[in-house]
């Protein structure tokens, strides 16, 4: 099992981690002559980051010896968990707004807030569905009965999808076809399994065998400026700062680029 797969936690698993951390006894001291293993850094990350951040986590651990555990989910859900006391060290959202919400609550280290990448939206189509859609107007095809997007209230990519359809004047015509995933990864899964013939999802996760895709014009929706921040009051501040710096550095940017993200300010 790879390090990336070991690190990918769901929000439900994160809740169990949170409860167990609150109730856990103090860990025993390492015996003399042994090397204590570092406690994993806990990073809350938008679902659009799963592939990129698992790779970044491997690279960061290889360089520093510091393991990282990721919890992937909708940015809005992760922000709420942090507000409720979840023990995350770093938050990497799919937009700036959820980070700023935490800043308003005094929950972050302000000097660590930074935009690390811009995301892109893609139109995904199930290859086995027998339909073709290479532009948003193609979603009007009666043969396409379900179009998956992430929940716009919780997931920035869902909001961008909604905005793109509004920009083309298609939202009212397509609204009854829309099925909502809790996050953008779940929206993609609906397309992969054929539960939806098409969907609007993150470019960073859309390269899967079951799906063909077309990039959406970034001018049709608000810029997907993705921001990260170190959470205040956690015991691993120095390590958290080092991870944030790694994401923002050349190594992290190169990995993000290979997963479909663009540098900040490009669009």
Q: At what angle do helices 237-248 and 250-258 cross, to 10 degrees?
A: 60
Structure confidence at residue 38 (pLDDT): 82
HEC letters along the chain: CCHHHHHEECHHHHHHHHHHHHHCCCCCCCCCCCCCCCCCEEEEEEHHHHHHHHHHHHHHHHHHCCCEEEEEECHHHHHHHHHCCCCCCEEECCCCHHHHHHHHCCCECHHHCEEEEEECEEEEEEHHHCCCCCCHHHHHCCCCCCEEEECCCCCHHHHHHHHHHHHCCCHHHHHHHEEEECCHHHHHHHHHHCCCCEEEEEHHHCCCCCEEEEECCHHHCCCEEEEEEEECCCCCHHHHHHHHHHHHCHHHHHHHHHCCCECCCCC
Structure confidence at residue 32 (pLDDT): 53
Structure confidence at residue 59 (pLDDT): 98
Report DSSP state, residue 57: H
- Which CATH homologous superfamily contains domain 3-21+40-118+223-258? Periplasmic binding protein-like II (3.40.190.10)
Can 3-21+40-118+223-258 and 121-215 be said to share one CATH topology?
Answer: yes
Residues 157 and 76: beta-carbon distance below 8 Å: no
Structure confidence at residue 13 (pLDDT): 44
Structural domain boundaries of the chain? 3-21+40-118+223-258, 121-215
Interval 40-61: pLDDT, tens? 999 999 999 999 999 999 999 9
Q: How far apart are alpha carbons 155 and 59 in whole angstroms?
A: 27
Structure confidence at residue 2 (pLDDT): 39
The parts of the chain modelled with pLDDT lower than 50 are 1-7, 9-10, 12-30, 34
Q: Is 100 helix (H, G, I), strand (E, B) or coil?
A: helix
Structure confidence at residue 31 (pLDDT): 53
Q: For the domain 121-215, what is the CATH code?
A: 3.40.190.10
CA 130 to chain centre: 30
Q: From 207, 218, 213, 199, select the one nearest 262 (Cα to Cα).
A: 218
Structure confidence at residue 23 (pLDDT): 36
Q: How far apart are alpha carbons 132 and 126 in whole angstroms?
A: 9
Model confidence, pTM: 0.86
């Amino acid at each position: 099992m790879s390090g990336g797969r070991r690190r990918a936690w769901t929000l439900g698993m994160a809740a169990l981690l949170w409860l167990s951390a609150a109730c856990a006894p103090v860990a025993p001291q390492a015996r003399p002559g042994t090397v204590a293993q570092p406690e994993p850094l806990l990073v809350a990350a938008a679902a659009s980051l799963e592939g990129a951040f698992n790779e970044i986590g491997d690279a960061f651990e290889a360089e520093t010896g510091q393991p990282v555990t990721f919890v992937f989910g909708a940015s809005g859900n992760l922000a709420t968990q942090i507000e409720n006391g979840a023990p995350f060290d770093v938050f990497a959202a799919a937009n700036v707004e959820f980070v700023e919400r935490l800043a308003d609550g005094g929950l972050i280290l302000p000097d660590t807030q930074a935009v690390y990448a811009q995301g892109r939206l893609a139109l995904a189509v199930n290859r086995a569905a027998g339909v073709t859609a290479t532009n948003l107007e193609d979603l009007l095809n009666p043969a396409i009965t379900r179009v998956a997007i992430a929940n716009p209230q919780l997931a920035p990519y869902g909001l961008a999808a909604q905005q793109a359809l509004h920009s083309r004047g298609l939202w009212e015509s397509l609204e009854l076809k829309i099925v909502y995933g809790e996050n953008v990864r779940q929206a993609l899964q609906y397309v992969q399994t054929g539960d939806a013939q098409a969907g609007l999802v993150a470019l960073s996760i859309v390269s899967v065998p079951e799906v063909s895709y077309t990039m959406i014009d970034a001018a049709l929706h608000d810029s997907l400026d993705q921001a990260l921040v170190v959470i205040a009051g956690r015991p691993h501040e120095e390590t958290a700062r080092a991870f944030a710096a790694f994401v923002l550095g050349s190594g992290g940017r190169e990995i993000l680029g290979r997963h479909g993200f663009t540098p900040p300010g490009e669009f």
